[in-house]
Structure 1
């Protein structure tokens, strides 16, 4: 080790042969993506099925896709058997969802909603969370979450039916809940929001160590 980095990276950064994606298994690619594309924000998504039963699940393949129109993007993967997540199934039945930003105080509850419950079981109840309305949406929001984006789905792009294939959800924001302690109408106060990010495996990261760079003109 030299300066905290593995010796090969310091001595010769060009010494690795390129890897061809088609030669890697889906599991290997997942571990590479989740470890290297990090930290990732987490979309905590509520939805309902055709019977009106609520579902709540976290997704770390998530970001902003557009500002005008306001569109958020998240991608539920098929599971290891090639089956769709409950959220994906629900959005096929009703094109509404609410994307929450959980924050560190709700990290335990957020993690609890990733449990493999049976379809139709209520993750709100499982995680001890309170349901609240948001605008005219039928989907409930998490009352304890300080930021929530109520959305109508514009499009879902499927990347196939193999295990770990993604379904990219493009969700247009139509109504917003933002706690005044977090957002003053112009700035988001990170000390109040306490956002967390996803790393690989069981690891998360806090947004407690920051630095600033002025953008060049």
Structure 2
């Protein structure tokens, strides 16, 4: 499961919202989650494969995701603890086997991506659940999604944990050690965005497409 799971809480009071500026100590965690997920959007989606110590695969999407460094190449994503303060299988697997494969969520695979956000019992295989095929990823123990045109094979550098309260984040810093890129998507220099067609996460059940783009020249 990728998105936070929590019981509903009371929204900020009308008087507090009318004031415009609020201290976060006046807001419930669920309220902050909805504010972040609604305002900080669209967010790229990391579709993360891991394995546990027994080699059982897990696959889950995370929309708190971005590039942390280029040299060395490091990607960052942050699984939240659930509404009971429990960690997701991805974190448990990274503690056991410090490897992962990060895929970019794409429009062609959006239904399968959404299927892997289901709360399956630990040890059940989301690849099978979503009808996806495993493929080897270099020397890593973790498989990649064969149907995904881009995959980044990573070794864990660090997990920065922000506590054990419900919805606390766990910032995973994963160093890319191998790349799989289909030639129709990447020519060695440029990514064909029309072929990749990545999707972004909005609030609730909403996603966004990258079909309405505009360009601005960067100032010198």
Q: Which residue of 2 aligns with 1:10?
A: none
Answer whether contact 1:102 1:146 (CA < 8 A) is retained: no
Alignment of 1:96-107 (within 5 A): 96-107=99-110
Corresponding position: 1:130 with 2:139: no
Corresponding position: 1:65 with 2:68: yes
Q: Which residue of 2 aligns with 1:75?
A: 78
**Gaps spanning 5+ residues in structure 2: where?**
1-17
State the 4+ residue runs in structure 1 displaced beyond 2 angstroms. Answer: none
For residues 54-101 of structure 1, give each alpha carbon's deviation from its aligned partner in whole angstroms, at most 9, with x where no partner exists. Answer: 000000000000000000000000000000000000000010000001
Q: Which residue of 2 aligns with 1:43?
A: 46
SS for the counterpart of 2:21 is coil
Q: Which residue of 2 aligns with 1:185?
A: 188
2:158 aligns with one of 146, 152, 155: 155
For these two proteins, the number of residue pairs brought into alignment is 203
Corresponding position: 1:144 with 2:151: no
Answer whether contact 1:157 1:167 (CA < 8 A) is retained: yes
2:22 aligns with one of 16, 19, 23: 19
**Gaps spanning 5+ residues in structure 1: where?**
1-14
Answer whether contact 1:102 1:147 (CA < 8 A) is retained: no
Measure how far apart 1:17 and its partner are: 3.1
Measure how far apart 1:22 and its partner are: 1.1
Q: Which residue of 1 aligns with 2:7?
A: none
2:206 aligns with one of 198, 203, 217: 203
**Mapped partners of 2:25, 2:78: distance in 1:** 21
For residues 119-171 of structure 1, give each alpha carbon's deviation from its aligned partner in whole angstroms, at most 9, with x where no partner exists. Answer: 00000000000000010000010000000000000000000000000000000
Q: Which residue of 2 aligns with 1:31?
A: 34
> What is the TM-score normalised by the length of structure 2?
0.91
**Mapped partners of 1:159, 1:176: distance in 2:** 30
**Mapped partners of 1:81, 1:112: distance in 2:** 22
For residues 169-189 of structure 1, give each alpha carbon's deviation from its aligned partner in whole angstroms, at most 9, with x where no partner exists. Answer: 000000000011111011000
Measure how far apart 1:50 and its partner are: 1.0
Q: Which residue of 1 aligns with 2:9?
A: none
Q: Which residue of 2 aligns with 1:213?
A: 216
Measure how far apart 1:102 and its partner are: 2.7
**Mapped partners of 1:100, 1:16: distance in 2:** 42
